[in-house]
Amino acid sequence: MSQVDIGIDAGRLLFGLSRIGYTTTSAICDIIDNSVRAQAKNIHLIINKERDDLADSRRNNVSEYVIIDDGSGMNDNGILEALKLGASDAGYEENSLSKFGLGLKSAAFSQADLLQVISSDGTGFNKYWVNLEEVIQSKKYFATKGPLDESDNELVHKYLPKKKGTIVRLSKIRKVNHPSVKNTIKELTLKTGVIYYYFIAENNLNIYLTGNKVTPIDPLFTDEADTNLDETVWDGTKVKWIEKEKSITIDGEEGIQIKIEATQLPHPPTFNLKEPGTNAAGKIRDKYLIGSGNYGFYVYRNKRLISWASRLEGIIPMDQDFFSFRGRILIDDSADDYFNIDVKKANLTLSDEAFNSISDFIQEGKAKSKKAWLRAGTLIKEITNKKPNEVSNNIVDDFEQIDLLPGDKLLEEGEAKERIEKLSTDMAKLAKNVTKMYKEDLGEEVSDDQEFTEEDIKNAIKGDNPSAEKIFRVSSVEDNNLFEPYWDTDKEECVRINKYHRFSRLIFEENGENAGLQIIFELMLLQFAESEIYAYKNIPDSNYDEIKRILTEYRRISSEFLANMVRKLDGQLPPNFGSNETN
Amino acid sequence: MGSCHLILVLMKPIETPFSTIFIGFEQAYIYVWVSLEYKFMYVGMTNSRVGTLGRANQHLDMRGTLRERFLMEFGLDIDTVSDLRLYSFPLPKSYLFFSVESTYREAVEYLVQKQLLEMISQLSVKYSIISRVRSNERTRNSRIRNLANEIIIQLIKNLPQPNETDQRLIGRIS
């Protein structure tokens, strides 16, 4: 056996590496990573323009990016090691930000044709550069050593008075679709504030972009989150906790843990309603970075952001109802195999274990966030439009059903009274039972023999809408049925509709935009409930208990059949029916 | 004809107490599959007429979800597991829990899995949870939460190789 050196074309390799998809911002952030790794306390970005007289908003006018840090710096060998392709990670400290040893070169050559590194570990400054054009021509990867020029010495004098630190110069910037100084600074101010949030907020890191100090930005705005999100009462104006920070295990065998937390940010349209004509919604969107590119999970590896607003492969769906959802995952390098990170540290894919654990853990929070967002939207609609339940209640407000159907006979007075008494007794029992269930739904502890106030019972019977008089959307119905009749001498025949039954959810949630359908559904169930009470009061040939047993069973069976139908025909029912048809 | 001599080798029988887990009439269950050998747990719920025993049959069928989930997680056939245990937790005998409309028992199942995910790092054995569950609005119901807590407590108490760490953990569940 013999080994044959087949060589590499260093020029083509370097060219390829520079085209892996860096943006200007992500390239500069990757170089800042090296400064952070070198334990710098002050990092400066200087942008030199091609023509100083042109405005910062002009594209293709950058001549050079200069990143200066007062970190530990490098000696001669250190600079050469940093410029090597696949730089060694032997000297990397634990919790290092680096991963592949390719960041500096690939980031630099994604923007520029000339990379210069000037550095000192305290023993004097050395300068090396790599010129992409020269490497492509010679097909050899090499660096050139040279003396510091006047401009280098000015930078050392101004920013590195302790004669220690590093200057990285990206020169010969490519002029094809290169962003303006203004846009780069705007984006970098936001991105570095979020990416290095922990370093700036906790480690006293200072980053200056063309002289302006970057302020740390917590994308979850946890400082403002006072209490946990209650999606049933949230009005859309405050930041709330969805999940406070918790450690979860993504691989029990290997003992791999991650930290996870999530908040609900305000609902911008709500502010327009509060302050009409002031573009309040726009201001809230800007303040909380609410938009299509910013919802999801912010994943920090060793406290450096590696994934901005990731939907984690669909754990957070692409759906604007999640615009207020902000999650954060903190990992260290032990979790790298579960959060596979690319060279740019910009994209990650999850292992099955990580996907499943996070997906399961956050499911409840995700549902809460969506419900809260929808509720905030509904609150707006409630103010601007009458909601369907109010409309259906209004429709039946003055409507009276037939007292006695043609062909039916009035019961004898004695029997009629006896049936009313039985009905009253049953309804009193029902009221007590559903009040217990209602309070449990609110998360309260309730004992079996607990006494309830009139107010408790009224709230439980009516559920969501206290002004409703006949048709009530409620969270719990006996036996988890679709609906149940309710009757008292004051309100007479009413219906309680289980809003969490699968069939109700099909109507109220999946067809939520169809107000007409909701109104008709509610009116129909009211008539079913009225029919049942009519039967208790008027059917002459069977006794009350027998009628009750059969009708209760019928209601249970039909509720179960409807639930089963919705479950089995998932995706085929309106509003999605026909969506799977092919032409 | 010559006589045929059969040599019977008597193996030690495998005794498996079924108790009442085949009874699913008016009875739903939360169940947890556990293997100490592979350190995994699988949480499920059923209203099967034949209880968790009947559901177990489906899980271990060639296309069963437990078999498929195990294969996905470990790359092995479930037949390689030699210490599979099934913990069954009967839910209250009420339509709320055993009806086709499954939101109540789904909510218990979700909370059990979510709490396990949170607590697993504190258990003496670091299990992986390989089941998938769905949340719904009923997870905030106090009765559902209490049921899930009780199931977690009983599960931890009865896991193989419990130790003092696990016992202390039980005290912190509220």
Q: Residue A89: which CATH number?
A: 3.30.565.10
Residues of B in contact with A257 (CB under 8 A): 121
Is B120 part of the contact surface with chain A (CB cutoff 8 Å)?
Answer: yes
Give the separation between CA A468 and CA A470, rounded to whole angstroms: 6
DSSP B92: P
A-B CB pairs within 8 A amount to 111
The answer to whether A443 contacts B141, with C-beta atoms less than 8 Å apart, is yes
Please write down the HEC assignment for all residues of A218-263. Answer: CCCCHHHCCCECCCCCCCCCCCEEEEEEEEEEEECCCCEEEEEEEE
Decide if A363 touches B, using CB distance below 8 A: yes
CB contact under 8 A, B73 and A257: no
Per the structure, the count of domains in chain A is 3
CB contact under 8 A, A255 and B126: yes
Does residue A148 carry a pLDDT above 60?
Answer: yes
- Give the C-alpha separation, A130 to A105, whole Å: 9
pLDDT at residue A343 is higher than 60: no
- For A213-250, write each residue's pLDDT tens digit: 999 999 999 999 989 999 988 989 999 999 999 999 88
Tokens standing for A271?
């502010």
Q: Judge if A247 and A99 occupy the same domain.
A: no
Domain count, chain B: 1
> A370 and A490 share a domain?
no
* C-beta separation of A205 from A40 below 8 A: yes
Over residues A79-95, the mean pLDDT reads 66
Structure-derived torsion over alpha carbons of residues A420, A421, A424, A429, reported in degrees to the nearest 10: -140
Does residue B23 belong to the interface with chain A, where contact is any CB pair within 8 Å?
A: no
Enumerate the residues of chain A whose CB falls inside 8 A of the CB of residue B132. 356, 359-360
* Residue B166 included in any domain: yes
CA A330 to chain centre: 15
**CB < 8 Å to A560, chain B:** 99-101
Instruction: Give the C-alpha distances (Å, rounded to integers) separating A84 from A101, A108, A128, A138.
Output: 8, 13, 12, 17
Domain boundary among A213, A233, A255: A213
Any domain includes B13: no
Task: Verify that A330 and A452 share a domain, yes or no.
Answer: no
Domain boundary among A180, A213, A246: A213
pLDDT tens profile A492-508? 999 999 999 999 999 98
Q: Is residue A582 part of a domain?
A: no
Residues A191 and A242 in one domain: no
Q: Would you call B145 an interface residue with chain A, using a CB distance cutoff of 8 Å?
A: yes
* Over residues A426-431, mean pLDDT: 96
Residue A314: is its pLDDT beyond 60? Answer: yes
Q: Which domain holds residue B107?
A: 29-171
pLDDT of the residue at A578: 61
CB-nearest partner of A364 from B39, B127, B139: B139
DSSP state of A339: E
- Check CB contact under 8 Å for B121 and A480: no
10 Å Cβ neighbour count for A81? 15
Contact A360 B133 (CB under 8 A): yes
Question: With 70 as the cut, is the pLDDT of residue B174 above it?
Answer: no
Same domain membership, residue A175 and residue A267: no
Residue B90, beta-bridge partner list: B29
Write down which residue in A172, A191, A213 finishes a domain.
Answer: A213
Tokens of A89: 């990670």
* Reported confidence tier of residue A91, pLDDT bands at 50, 70, 90: very low
Helix-then-strand count for chain A, H and E: 17, 18
Domain-located, residue A583: no
| Res A571: pLDDT | 83
Domain range for A296 is 222-380
CB A533 within 8 A of CB A493: yes
> How near does any CA of chain B get to the CA of A530, in Å?
24
pLDDT at A350 over 90: no
Q: How confident is the model at residue A90 (pLDDT cuts 50, 70, 90)?
A: very low
Flag whether A579 is in a domain.
no
Residue B99 in any domain: the answer is yes
Position B106 in a domain: yes
Assigned domain for A470 exists: yes
Residue A17 and residue A159 share a domain? yes
Helix (H, G, I), strand (E, B) or coil at A570: coil
Residue whose pair of structure tokens reads 């995994």 in the numeric block: B40
More confident residue, A98 or B33: B33
User: Would the pLDDT of A157 be above 70?
Assistant: yes
Name the residue among B128, B135, B143 with its Cβ closest to that of A440. Answer: B143
Q: Tell whether A229 and A278 lie within a shared domain.
A: yes
CA–chain centroid gap for A301, Å, is 18
At residue A581 the predicted structure's pLDDT band, cuts being 50, 70 and 90, is very low
Residue A414 has pLDDT above 70, yes or no: yes
Interface of A with B in 102-161 (CB under 8 A): none
Mutate which of A230, A232, A244, A249 to test chain B, going by most B C-beta atoms within 10 A?
A: A249
**Chain B nearest CA to A373, separation (Å):** 15
Please give the mean pLDDT across all residues of chain A. 88
B117 part of contact set with chain A, CB < 8 Å: yes
In angstroms, rounded to a whole number, what is the distance separating the alpha carbons of residues A173 and A60?
Answer: 9
In a domain, A506, yes or no: yes
Break chain A down into helix, strand, coil percent, rounded to 5: 40, 20, 40
- Say if A169 is an interface residue toward chain B (CB within 8 Å): no
Q: Does B121 touch chain A (CB under 8 A)?
A: yes
Q: Are residues A186 and A254 in the same domain?
A: no
Query: Residues B114-125: pLDDT tens digits?
Result: 999 988 888 888
What would the two tokens of residue A449 be?
């023999």
pLDDT bucket at A63, cuts 50 / 70 / 90: very high
A555: which residues sit within 8 A by CB, 6+ positions away?
A481, A482, A483, A484, A532
Smallest CA–CA separation between A35 and chain B, in Å? 35
A287 and A262 share a domain? yes
CATH number of the CATH domain containing A316: 3.30.230
Helix ranges (H only) for A100-180 are 103-111, 132-138, 150-159
Q: Which chain A residues touch B26 with a CB distance below 8 Å? A: none
Q: Collapse the DSSP code of A2 into the 3-class scheme (helix H, G, I; strand E, B; otherwise coil) and give the result.
A: coil
pLDDT digits (tens, 9 = 90+) for B65-96: 999 999 988 888 999 999 999 999 999 999 99
Across the interface, whether the CB atoms of A440 and B103 are under 8 A apart is answered no
Among the residue ranges A88-97, A349-358, B104-113, B132-141, the one predicted with the least confidence is A88-97
Burial call A62-71: b when 16+ CB within 10 Å, e when fewer: bbbbbbbbbb
- Whether residue A246 and residue B136 make contact (CB cut-off 8 A), yes or no, is no
Q: Which residues share a beta bridge with A474? A: A498
Closest residue of chain B to A477, computed from CA coordinates? B96
For residue A407, name the pLDDT band (cuts at 50, 70, 90). confident
A109 in a structural domain: yes
Residue A320 confidence (pLDDT) = 87
A182: nearest Cα among A60, A291, A326: A60
Domain contains A367:
yes
| Of the partner residues B103, B114, B143, the one whose CB lies closest to the CB of residue A364 | B114
Average pLDDT estimate for A167-182: 91
Is residue A199 assigned to a domain? yes
pLDDT at res. A49:
92
Identify the band that residue A56 occupies on the pLDDT scale cut at 50, 70 and 90.
Answer: confident
Token pair, residue A153, equals 């010495």
* Confidence at residue B121, expressed as pLDDT on a 0 to 100 scale: 83
* Residue A522: pLDDT over 50: yes
A369 with A439, same domain: the answer is no
**A505 and A545 share one domain:** yes
Residues A475-495 have pLDDT tens digits of: 999 999 999 999 998 889 999
**pLDDT grade for A298, boundaries at 50, 70 and 90:** very high
**What distance in Å separates the CA atoms of residue A472 and residue A23, rounded to the nearest whole number?**
55
| Residues A272, A317 within the same domain | yes
Give the pLDDT mean for A425-454: 94
